[in-house]
């Protein structure tokens, strides 16, 4: 949008306030609001703030930062009573007005510019899959003398809230929740509300449904959208899901593994590269009709797969989802329609327009800007260095369930890290592919490892509730 177009929207919707939003390094959201009359001034001068107050954002060379609104992200806020216009911002150094080294949106912008500079492609297109739980109650307690949590769902007969009697008998047990129908899919109306708001911000939804987890697990999937647009839209989508849940007396979580021995929440990414409108991943006759560029792209992601998890699976909880026996992949290989693979080639995407790859390891605790930029950089590194996965030992393609293989066969496969600590070490050892074109930088990577190590230590240093079962009476 141009400034004049934004002003026209302000007039049409009788906007009174403008709310600027931006993420920190690990993707927590922050905001600051101002009266609409100050728009011209803010567009010229930005909004100054103290970067040292935002975890992970302060640069070594400067603590004074400014927010520069991005007019292209303007939407009418669907939740506030006061008519408000939302915009996302770039976090810039106060003197240069250039996106800082550690501003996630600026990293994504640099990734797009780097893609164009290589001449390989001019755009990448993505489909994100949002998996999340809707709980009726989320009671969480962590103190010095007590710790624990409790989640409940009126959909699961074994997980009902204490005051809920299930007098209509619609709570279910002893079955999976995948595509479960009304009336047992109790929150379809909430998903419909979410989807309508998502479409209202210009993001087309492919479909939505109940997921496998019977205690309210949901999925919303968009259509294929350009990288720059979808990375911003994903931030709004996550916000819509949280706020719609609260408006319906529910609580939403994207946590990868909130429930023991129940399905986890992933954040699968479907990816393709395009140049002058042509899908570069399609070539009739090859394996799964994939082009050489597609195979090289896959090779780059698999080759750097262990370090990538530091951005695509950046929580201690991520590695409780990534366990053998579930659909979450734990081995670095690719295959056609194989849900145990890190990279799955959707069998139904057969045309030159739809051919794509699906990265299945990632989850919703990732910073979308950083995770998607890292995946793009790894794939481009594969194309630049002609990393052919079929010539690399253990990368596939494998079209069968590798969990049915013998231990000796499985040992020949490359494994993803088993903990966040291991992933961070992999990132420290392998990150040169991210620094190409100054997309990422040593300062950002160092800060990321520092911030995430704090989380590792915070979890490691606390007694776990199940340790009481194991050791209290010893």
Query: Hey, which residues are catalytic here?
Result: 50, 129, 131, 211, 219, 268, 339, 358, 360
| Residues 284, 356: Cα–Cα separation, whole Å | 13
Which H/E stretch holds residue 116?
helix 104-118
| Residues 251, 245: Cα–Cα separation, whole Å | 5
Residue of 315, 309, 438, 368 whose CA lies nearest to 126: 368
Tell me if 431 sits within 8 A of 377, measured CB to CB.
Answer: no
369 CB-near residues (< 8 Å, 6+ apart): 23, 27, 104, 105, 107, 108, 231
Residue of 26, 224, 25, 215 whose CA lies nearest to 138: 215
| Residues 139, 126: Cα–Cα separation, whole Å | 35
Residue of 269, 270, 155 whose CA lies nearest to 213: 155
At residue 15, the 3 state secondary structure works out as coil
| Residues 215, 137: Cα–Cα separation, whole Å | 11
| Residues 100, 59: Cα–Cα separation, whole Å | 8
179 CB-near residues (< 8 Å, 6+ apart): 209, 210
| Residues 308, 300: Cα–Cα separation, whole Å | 11
Integer CA distances (angstroms), 211 to 56, 221, 284, in order: 34, 12, 33
């Amino acid at each position: 949008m141009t400034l004049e177009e934004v002003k026209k929207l302000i007039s049409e919707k009788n906007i009174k306030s403008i709310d600027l939003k931006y993420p920190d390094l690990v993707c927590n959201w922050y905001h600051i609001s101002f009266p609409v009359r100050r728009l011209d001034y803010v567009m010229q001068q930005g909004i100054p703030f103290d970067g040292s107050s935002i975890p992970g954002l302060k640069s070594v060379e400067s603590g004074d930062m400014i927010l520069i609104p991005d007019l292209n992200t303007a939407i009418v806020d669907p939740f506030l009573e006061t008519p408000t216009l939302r915009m996302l911002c770039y976090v810039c150094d106060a003197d240069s007005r250039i996106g800082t080294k550690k501003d996630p949106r600026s990293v994504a912008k640099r990734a797009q510019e780097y893609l164009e500079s290589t001449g390989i492609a001019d755009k990448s297109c993505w489909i994100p899959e949002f998996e999340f739980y809707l709980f009726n109650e989320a009671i969480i307690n962590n103190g010095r003398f007590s710790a624990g949590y409790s989640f409940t769902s009126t959909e699961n007969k074994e997980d009902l809230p204490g005051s809920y009697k299930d007098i209509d008998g619609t709570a279910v047990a002893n079955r999976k929740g995948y595509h479960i129908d009304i009336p047992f899919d109790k929150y379809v109306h909430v998903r419909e509300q979410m989807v309508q708001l998502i479409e209202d911000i210009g993001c087309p939804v492919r479909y939505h449904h109940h997921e496998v987890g019977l205690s309210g697990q949901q999925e919303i999937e968009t259509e294929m959208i350009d990288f720059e647009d979808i990375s911003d839209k994903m931030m709004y989508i996550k916000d819509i899901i949280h706020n719609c849940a609260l408006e319906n007396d529910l609580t939403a979580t994207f946590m990868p593994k909130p429930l023991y021995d129940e399905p986890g929440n992933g954040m699968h990414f479907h990816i393709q590269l395009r140049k002058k409108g042509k899908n570069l991943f399609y070539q009739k006759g090859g394996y799964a009709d994939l082009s050489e560029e597609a195979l090289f792209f896959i090779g780059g992601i698999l080759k750097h797969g262990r370090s990538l998890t530091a951005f695509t699976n950046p929580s201690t909880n991520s590695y409780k989802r990534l366990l053998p026996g579930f659909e979450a992949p734990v081995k670095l290989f690719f295959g056609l329609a194989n849900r145990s693979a890190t990279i799955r080639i959707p069998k139904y995407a057969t045309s030159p327009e739809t051919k794509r790859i699906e990265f299945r390891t990632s989850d919703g605790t990732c910073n979308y800007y950083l995770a998607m930029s890292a995946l793009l950089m790894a794939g481009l590194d594969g194309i630049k260095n002609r990393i052919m996965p079929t010539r690399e030992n253990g990368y596939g393609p494998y079209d069968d369930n590798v969990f049915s293989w013998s231990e000796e066969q499985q040992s020949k496969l490359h494994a993803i890290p088993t903990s966040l600590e291991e992933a961070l070490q992999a990132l420290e050892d392998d990150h040169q592919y991210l620094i190409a074109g100054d997309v990422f930088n040593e300062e950002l990577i160092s800060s990321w490892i520092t911030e995430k190590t704090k989380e590792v230590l915070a979890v490691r240093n606390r007694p776990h509730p199940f340790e009481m079962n194991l050791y209290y009476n010893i």
